[in-house]
Structure 1
Amino acid sequence: MVGAHIGSVAGKKLKYELDTLTRHAVVLGTTGSGKTVMGKVLIEEALASGISVIAIDPKGDLGGLAVTSDDFDFRPFVSGGKKSAEKAANLYSDAVKNQEIDKNLIKKLAKVDSKIYTPKSNAGLSISLMPDLSAPKGFSKLSSDDPTIIADFVEPVSASIVQLAGIKGGNAEKMQSFLSSLLINSWNAGSDLDIEGLIKQVIEPPIETIGSLPLDDFINEKERKKLAASLNLILSSPAKQAWKKGERMNMDSMLSSSRLSVIDLRFAINMEEKQFVVEQILSELYKFLIRKGGSQRLKYILYIDELAGLLPPPPANPPTKKLLELLIRQARAFGLGIIVATQNPGDIDYRIFGNIGTRFIGRLRTERDIEKVATAMDLLPSRLKTDISTFSVGDFMYHNAVKNSARIMKARWLLTYHAGPLKENEIGWVNDPSKRPAMDGKLTLKTKTEKITSVKNKTRKAQKKKTISARTLLQAEPKARKRPKKAAVMKRPTSKTKTTLSPIIKVVKRYSDKVQLKSSTTPCTEYVPHLRIVIEPKPIRHLALQMQGPFVFDLTGKVFPVGNYLKQISWSTYVDGSITIAKHRRNIKATYDFALKEARQSLRSKIFKSTILSFQSFERDEVEQKNHTYLTAEWLRPRIRQLEDKENKEIKAQNTMMKKNKDKIGKLSFRKNSDKAKRILKRVFTKKKVAKVTIEMKTIARRIKQFQKENYLIKKRIKKIKELYGKRRQALRDQAFLRSHSSVRQRSYNPKRDDLIVHTTILLVPKRGSEI
């Protein structure tokens, strides 16, 4: 397979063999690092090569992959009218030219059949997610060849049934084990099941033992009937019926050639529902792979945009975790490549990284994340931290675990629309292009006068700097620059502490908020001045901002040492006045400019703020969850309570009518039976012929049938009332969910100097200890 252009290394195109994805890939990076863009680049290249993709999208960021344009006219998806559309088109056009991206890819992407599925919502295509209990092809042989398949495949299916039935507590594991035994028994025999058939088997099990115990000792008849009643809720409860909306999931269609299927999970309210949706998709995907058989080349891709919650660290063990581990272990034999992404590596089971061949590591926020990733990928934490500390948006460490090679790369620009989640009407335009509004006129693209080669050279030079391990980060003072008279004091060499340190301290105080002076406790005849700078962002409510640094500078040298190499030295705040200090050569202002630039670049990120609460966070999910919790308590519950009161009132009125009819039926039946008994006695004792049925008895029978029919209609009305109010409750939940997502505003956090507190420590280091 021809190498795919996924970015650049030192200004040169980086080609990536897509067949490598059968060993899977992971994209790591905090919010604003370019993680989603890197994942989209891989998907674009795969789709252009005719590979089918299923993309699981928790936040709605992947729908834009379905929007393409030859001239980058993304109207009507671009908000702000023609002016904004022209600005976006010029941005895309310039980036594609500068990065020499093949525009023929756009034509290939335009031929891709794209669909967006929205479980539990009619915004996109609805799919039924009721568990499919049909027997996998060749299950008996598979289970005998690999016994672990029972634990990895059957148990997640039974766990999802237990979850859907609402069975919780200590009894859930026992019920799950019982259902697993029934599934294994049926599937080994090649028999398909459905929920109705499973309920029948629960009541009258076709097995006699479970493990080494007789069936009744493991689960008695009373418990089985209770389980059957819980399973019946899956078929009868209006809330559960929401999962039945739409057509049954068809993997043959979703994984047909050049097909993009985006599963938008925004309408699954909580993590449990998201896990349930993903578990059903993974289960169907595994059955599809078994049915299709093996392949040595890449044929399909599964992309998960946010792995947190689906593959949590121990002891959490949701059904999705076992299925994902099973697919990662076996997918290569079926031609399936799995790409996963996460912004929180610390919240997933890091052992998964050991089974992944390609790693794209972007900017990470916390030391814990860096250490976990480095440990899992067999990298040195200090080296990883050093390499990613200077990353900007779109920069990644490209680590090939198979070849054991690592390079720093820049992700290429996208060819598809990328501007946040699609709205409901925009999802409809993707699924049915005929509904997409027509746009008048063509956009005016500006032509840049700058040469593309100069831009390429700048990019090449910028990226070469990032690949150098020992970086020359600061330059000498400008020659032509005029200095104020006070600066002349800095150039006077002297052997006395007071005359040498005073100009350094004056300059340091000018650029620092807090200053300390420390000297090494090791005796020495001559000391070398160093600056240790730590940048502390001023606190912002609800945000955990990390301190940046330390940045350590040798004021007599020109090379910036990697890491805090002075941490082994013991320090004292007492400084002897008779010591000799080496002449400093470095521009002190330049050291602060560098430290502040690096700190600001590292701190630069997106902040998501709630418009209904006084809350903000770096994670959009966290703000949405806070909004949803608040709306559920303050807005949703009172309205649902009102609906329930109305529903109960209407049902009570119907039940009252039904009770009256039953009373009438009872009285009429009593009269009918009394008349019948009297006539029988009369016939016995008088020995006369008496008609068995009289006109009055026929009338009573007709009235009884009439009341019974009324009760039947009342039961249907009650069922309709429950369905109606069930839909209204679901509509309110959907409204609360959408409102919780729409009530989030995004802003950029780009700290200025006034937003930062600069801590500086002047360190006097023995001359022999300062050699680098």
Structure 2
Amino acid sequence: MADFLLGGQIDPAQHQRTDQLTTVSSGDFTTHGVIVGMTGSGKTGLGVVLIEEALSAGVPALLIDPKGDLTNLCLTFPGLAAADFAPWVNEGDAQKAGQTVDEFAAAQAAAWTKGLAGWGIGPERLAALRATAEFTIYTPGSTAGVGLDIIGSLDAPTGVTDAEVLGDEIEGFVGGLLGLVGVDADPLTSREHILLSNLIMTEWSAGRSLDLPRLVGMVQQPPLRKLGVFELDQFFPPKDRTAFAMRLNGLLASPSFSAWMAGTSLDIDAMLRSADGKPRCAIVTTAHLSDEGRQFVTTLILGKLVTWMRKQSGTTDLRALLYMDEVAGYLPPTAAPPTKKPIMTLMKQARAFGVGVVLSTQNPVDVDYKALSNAGTWMIGRLQTDRDKQRLLDGMSAASGGVDVKAVGDTISGLAKREFVLRRAGKDQPEVFTTRWAMSYLRGPLTREQIAVLMADQQTNAPVAPPAGSPLPPPSPATAAPAPAPTPAPVPTATRTSGSDVPLMPEVADGVAVRWVDVAAPWLADVGADPAGTAWEAALMCRVSMRFDDAKVDFLHDQEFEAVFFPLSEQIDPSRP
């Protein structure tokens, strides 16, 4: 296990640094951590320092960055030269200082050189960090950084058969998706949530992947007969399903949504380590998204992380670090957004798999204290209100009853900028420390253009899915009922060449009735059809009704037979329906 250098102890009364360094064992973060502090407390700087230490120790980090501050981790300059800083300084900051950009860059370079030297950190340490880890800024829904194929998260998870694990991931995806279209859906009462969840579970359980256009198409004609004990059409009438499908299709048809389907796949393994095992710093910035978009992306990532985690072997070492900045909106004390469940799962279970979770917030009163009470390491900076302080002390007391809450509260009230109270896992006596100088240049959130420059070498030209103006499957007029079920002889599954696909249905002679098969028909597999297929193929169905009527013996009997010929060929053998 490595020791993370976070800063140095200080005398709380004098606010002077002592000669004692403040280090925290990497193993302590398997019991998770909390960083709390108001704006200007140095909370972001402490988070960056913690992540730098983890990466330097070879621990990969997955960062959820709703404000854009964590993108600064890509700004490390081993040469500490003014020319390195100049492209990244804020012109507004230079103007406030009464300097040109070059003058301000030189001052920043000098400040970073001096600040790092005060902690015994030289250019070689910065170079080692750059050599040890790879840094990637993901911008889902945008082409500024490395794209993230959010819709690809509907691929069936490999190596996962536990229905509970699949259910948790599906619940998160569906909740986030419905939030995007303005449906406030409860997993237990919302018919939209229940239908989509069952559709995805049906496909995943069969090992079949999905994409969003296909899922939307399945809403109109689900391959399901019942939901619970009710018939599908009673639970969710066809007219309402069509309206719901149109609502989802409106999302897909939006030109801006194509960016959500471009980029690298949402693969936690690949995001945490390169092909040669090098640790990665995966920064998922969502600052450019709406609140609903942030919820959707964050829910999907957390769901994938939980699924990935449960496939790992147990360990007491820190295998990976999840850092969530400004977590308040994702973990409220009363509401239950789709992000809340996976966060709570991670806080309760991730320790056994070596996954550490660090939550950061400036508003502890807006965070579920039950989650905070699962954290072993607390780092508390200046707080804005006594209410914030009391909520934090309540959570700390729940986590460790031996803490002198009054003493900690008094210490918090006297903190200065970049000063924090540290409560270690398993120890009741808190410490006061100041953070070390960050190796990264903390200039604030990067612009889209700056992110594009940093990620130019990593951006992938992933194909963009066609705008989902692609038509939905045709509605089902007078669907052919599957009863009574025919008993055809097995027929090999039809195979088609790509050249046989056409976007429109061929013309049919007048007078020939056309129907679409019910995808819930139990005999589809027997005739070689795929209920999960995405293309329509022609088949011939014959139905013969016979009546035996003999009045002399008072006998009346009806019989009905069905035959389905599929796939069709140039000649039909009536003996092989």
TM-score, length basis structure 2: 0.69
| Range that drifts further, 20-29 or 325-334 | 325-334
Aligned partners of 1:434 and 1:86: how far apart in 2? 29
Shift of 1:294: 4.3
Shift of 1:339: 1.3
**Where in structure 2 are the equivalents of 1:635-714 lying within 5 Å?**
none
Q: Secondary structure at the match of 1:313?
A: coil
- Structure 2 counterpart of 1:426, from 450, 458, 476: 450
Aligned partners of 1:102 and 1:198: how far apart in 2? 54
1:155 aligned partner: 171
Q: Which amino acid aligns with 1:325?
A: M
Shift of 1:67: 1.5
> Once the two structures are superposed, what CA deviation does each residue of 1:416-436 show, in whole Å capped at 9, x if it has no partner?
11121223332233223799x
Aligned partners of 1:389 and 1:9: how far apart in 2? 17
Computed over aligned residues only, the root mean square deviation of the Cα atoms, in angstroms, reads 2.7
Aligned partners of 2:458 and 2:202: how far apart in 1? 49
1:53 aligned partner: 61
Query: Retained in 2: the 8 A contact 1:131–1:280?
Result: no
Pair 1:352-2:371 in alignment: yes
Shift of the 110–242 alpha-carbon distance from structure 1 to 2, 3 Å rule, reads closer
The structure whose Rg is larger is 1
- Structure 1 counterpart of 2:341, from 293, 304, 322: 322
1:249 aligned partner: 266
> Once the two structures are superposed, what CA deviation does each residue of 1:708-734 show, in whole Å capped at 9, x if it has no partner?
xxxxxxxxxxxxxxxxxxxxxxxxxxx
Pair 1:99-2:119 in alignment: yes
Aligned partners of 2:169 and 2:222: how far apart in 1? 22
Aligned partners of 2:205 and 2:457: how far apart in 1? 45
Q: Which amino acid aligns with 2:52?
A: E
2:149 aligned partner: 128
> Once the two structures are superposed, what CA deviation does each residue of 1:189-217 show, in whole Å capped at 9, x if it has no partner?
33322224434543333333323333333
Runs of 4+ with >6 A deviation: 169-172
1:549 aligned partner: none
Query: Retained in 1: the 8 A contact 2:169–2:304?
Result: no
**Where in structure 2 are the equivalents of 1:501-520 lying within 5 Å?**
none
Q: Which amino acid aligns with 1:116?
A: I
Shift of the 296–207 alpha-carbon distance from structure 1 to 2, 3 Å rule, reads farther
Aligned partners of 2:387 and 2:57: how far apart in 1? 38
Q: Which amino acid aligns with 1:288?
A: W
Pair 1:28-2:28 in alignment: no
Query: Retained in 1: the 8 A contact 2:216–2:245?
Result: yes
Pair 1:388-2:412 in alignment: yes
2:7 aligned partner: 7
Query: Retained in 2: the 8 A contact 1:153–1:322?
Result: no
**Where in structure 2 are the equivalents of 1:482-631 lying within 5 Å?**
none
Aligned partners of 2:293 and 2:356: how far apart in 1? 25
Pair 1:417-2:441 in alignment: yes
Shift of 1:185: 2.9
Aligned partners of 1:110 and 1:211: how far apart in 2? 54
Query: Retained in 2: the 8 A contact 1:364–1:370?
Result: yes
> Once the two structures are superposed, what CA deviation does each residue of 1:574-598 show, in whole Å capped at 9, x if it has no partner?
xxxxxxxxxxxxxxxxxxxxxxxxx
- Unaligned stretches of 5+ residues in structure 1: 436-772
Shift of 1:241: 3.1
Aligned partners of 2:378 and 2:217: how far apart in 1? 48
2:246 aligned partner: 229
Shift of 1:414: 0.8
Shift of 1:244: 2.4
- Unaligned stretches of 5+ residues in structure 2: 11-17, 91-99, 398-402, 460-577
Q: Which amino acid aligns with 2:236?
A: I
Shift of the 92–240 alpha-carbon distance from structure 1 to 2, 3 Å rule, reads closer
Shift of 1:342: 0.5
**Where in structure 2 are the equivalents of 1:174-185 lying within 5 Å?**
174-185=191-202
Shift of 1:412: 0.9
Pair 1:403-2:411 in alignment: no
Q: Secondary structure at the match of 1:356?
A: coil
| Range that drifts further, 296-305 or 185-194 | 185-194
The sequence identity of aligned pairs, in percent, is 34
Query: Retained in 1: the 8 A contact 2:170–2:201?
Result: yes
Shift of 1:122: 2.7
Shift of 1:272: 1.6
Q: Which amino acid aligns with 2:342?
A: L
- Structure 2 counterpart of 1:370, from 389, 393, 396: 389
Shift of 1:292: 4.9
Aligned partners of 2:384 and 2:177: how far apart in 1? 38
Aligned partners of 2:23 and 2:367: how far apart in 1? 29
Query: Retained in 1: the 8 A contact 2:330–2:339?
Result: yes
> Once the two structures are superposed, what CA deviation does each residue of 1:398-421 show, in whole Å capped at 9, x if it has no partner?
112433342111111111111212
Query: Retained in 2: the 8 A contact 1:137–1:291?
Result: no
- Structure 1 counterpart of 2:46, from 38, 44, 66: 38
Aligned partners of 2:452 and 2:222: how far apart in 1? 46
Shift of the 404–198 alpha-carbon distance from structure 1 to 2, 3 Å rule, reads same
Q: Secondary structure at the match of 1:355?
A: coil
> Once the two structures are superposed, what CA deviation does each residue of 1:326-347 show, in whole Å capped at 9, x if it has no partner?
2222222333211111011111
Aligned partners of 1:234 and 1:92: how far apart in 2? 46
1:87 aligned partner: 107
Aligned partners of 2:205 and 2:313: how far apart in 1? 19
Q: Which amino acid aligns with 1:120?
A: G
Shift of 1:52: 1.5
2:135 aligned partner: 114
Aligned partners of 2:136 and 2:115: how far apart in 1? 27
Aligned partners of 1:196 and 1:113: how far apart in 2? 34
Query: Retained in 1: the 8 A contact 2:323–2:357?
Result: yes
Higher helix share: 1
- Structure 2 counterpart of 1:215, from 216, 232, 246: 232
Shift of 1:103: 5.3
Q: Secondary structure at the match of 1:50?
A: coil
1:65 aligned partner: 73
Size of the aligned set, in residue pairs, is 429
Aligned partners of 1:176 and 1:433: how far apart in 2? 40
2:360 aligned partner: 341
Query: Retained in 2: the 8 A contact 1:370–1:384?
Result: no
Shift of the 294–136 alpha-carbon distance from structure 1 to 2, 3 Å rule, reads farther
Shift of the 189–245 alpha-carbon distance from structure 1 to 2, 3 Å rule, reads closer
Aligned partners of 2:173 and 2:65: how far apart in 1? 22
Q: Which amino acid aligns with 2:46?
A: M
